[in-house]
Structure 1
Amino acid sequence: DVPVGKHFTVCGDIHGQFYDLLNIFKLNGAPGPENPYLFNGDFVDRGSFSLECILLLLSYKLAYPDSLFLARGNHESRNMNQLYGFKGEVEAKYDETLYNLFCEAFCLLPLAHVINDTVFVTHGGLFSKDGVTLNDIRAVDRDQEPPDSGLMTEMLWSDPMSVRGRAPSQRGVGVMFGEGEVVRLVPRTTYYLDRRHS
């Protein structure tokens, strides 16, 4: 829980942009007990400094385990890493063994966080079916690569749309959801949805 009068920063989609990450800390302050952060996935891929980004975030997590939180994004998976550069970057700078250790660690990251029993934070979005509860989310076997469908995939890949309702995603995985679905599908009606996937 975030104490009343305190702030909590949620960031997402760093995508290997190390200097942008440093700039976030310069502008907003470094993570610590008085300045908690949640990084909501996609720390790696696309940028040239994915390794530096994830190492810095993990270092802060070790230093301040109760002040820095990490969630899994769709780019914390082997398939995406092979396509968008993290695998090649780690193997060029170190070796395949280190890359495999990162993949194991990514599989253990939470798929969602709830802040102050009010804000539901997940990387992608909502679900293709009604009635999903926090217990359903807790029951997901996240220690694996994302499957082709199901709650895990929807939480990593789903996207909002400007019309009401739900529709198949144009990405081919996850689901598109309208504003009305946030009210209907978020596990409790007192929650607000915060997502970062783009």
Structure 2
Amino acid sequence: MVVEKDYDGVKLELKEGGEGMTQGFIEDMIQRFKDGKRIHKKYVFQIILAVKELVYNEPTMVEVEVPEDHKLTVCGDTHGQFYDLLNIFKLAGPPSEAHAYLFNGDFVDRGSWSTEVALTLYAYKMLYPKTFLLNRGNHETDDMNRMYGFEGECRAKYTTDRVFKLFSESFSALPLATLIGSKYLVLHGGLFSDDDVGLDDIRKLNRHKQRQPGQSGLMMEMLWTDPQTEKGRGPSKRGVGLQFGPDITKRFCERNGLEAIIRSHEVRMEGYEVEHDGRCITGKYHYTSICAFP
């Protein structure tokens, strides 16, 4: 695809494997978005395809350590709120090799700047492939994108179905969880209908055989379940998945040597909430950092 001579944005020269993303391109792209402009479709395609390859080759559960003098910031749903995303970087600090980020799903839908949010996150993933991490959320799925606006936004802004189709392929390649320092499991939804499910089951889950989560199974539960105050398990208020009590969380953490699980997926009026005796942390909307490690 040829970039027309009258395109006034910074050009992007990518190498094989997506190498070549620059901070200068990201800054120019962000300014274009703020000015109500778009980047050329060629770069949209290149960014999505490069990130699809990067995340496809990551394990279903990414396992990371936070070196001394480094930091990892975990962020909940951004849901197409571009200026909230920029505010996160302003308040918590920009991404870098020493400042890792983990965005825990639901980048898109609801908000009207979903393509801008997704492309910004993807560009940073290209710039810092080892320290800028992305988990899949329940809104990185085709059904939700059709219902809550992302598919239509892609078509309206880039006048082709191809952009959404590429995003959909990249979403289905995203990891489903991240394990931080062997002690904190970060996933979008929550825990499971079976007490016997553990970290090894997540490691073994071949997410590439199932592009969409469906109505049952580990992938669906990782993307959809919610905590409840009562013990045991209960039906989901969403009609999909289930709810799990503090005893379920305690058993899961003890059996897997975890301090806590960190999740998003639900609105919390204060931006986040620590529940289940400190073993379940939920954060979503307008909250810059669920947790900073160390």
Deviation at 1:6, TM superposition (A): 3.4
Q: Deviation per CA, 1:116-137: give whole Å up to 9, x if none.
A: 0010000000000011122211
* 1:132 and 2:197 correspond: yes
Match of 2:239 in 1: 172
2:107/2:118 contact within 8 Å kept: yes
Deviation at 1:139, TM superposition (A): 2.8
* 1:14 and 2:82 correspond: no
Structure 2-normalised TM-score? Answer: 0.65
SS in 2 for 1:90: helix
1:183/1:189 contact within 8 Å kept: no
Code of the residue aligned with 1:176 in structure 2: it is: Q
C-alpha distance in structure 1 between counterparts of 2:128 and 2:116, whole Å: 18
Deviation at 1:4, TM superposition (A): 3.5
Q: Over aligned residue pairs, what C-alpha RMSD do you find?
A: 1.2
1:16/1:47 contact within 8 Å kept: yes
Structure 1-normalised TM-score? Answer: 0.96
* 1:38 and 2:106 correspond: no
* 1:194 and 2:259 correspond: no
Deviation at 1:167, TM superposition (A): 1.1
Match of 1:85 in 2: 149
Q: Deviation per CA, 1:11-52: give whole Å up to 9, x if none.
A: 011000000000000111111111110000000000000000
Match of 1:103 in 2: 168
Could you tell me the percent identity over the aligned residues? 53
Code of the residue aligned with 2:244 in structure 1: it is: F
Q: Deviation per CA, 1:82-136: give whole Å up to 9, x if none.
A: 0000000001011211100000000010111100001000000000001112221
Deviation at 1:5, TM superposition (A): 4.9
Larger Rg: 2
SS in 1 for 2:219: helix
1:78/1:103 contact within 8 Å kept: yes
Q: Which runs of 5+ in 2 are unaligned?
A: 1-64, 267-294
Q: Which runs of 5+ in 1 are unaligned?
A: none
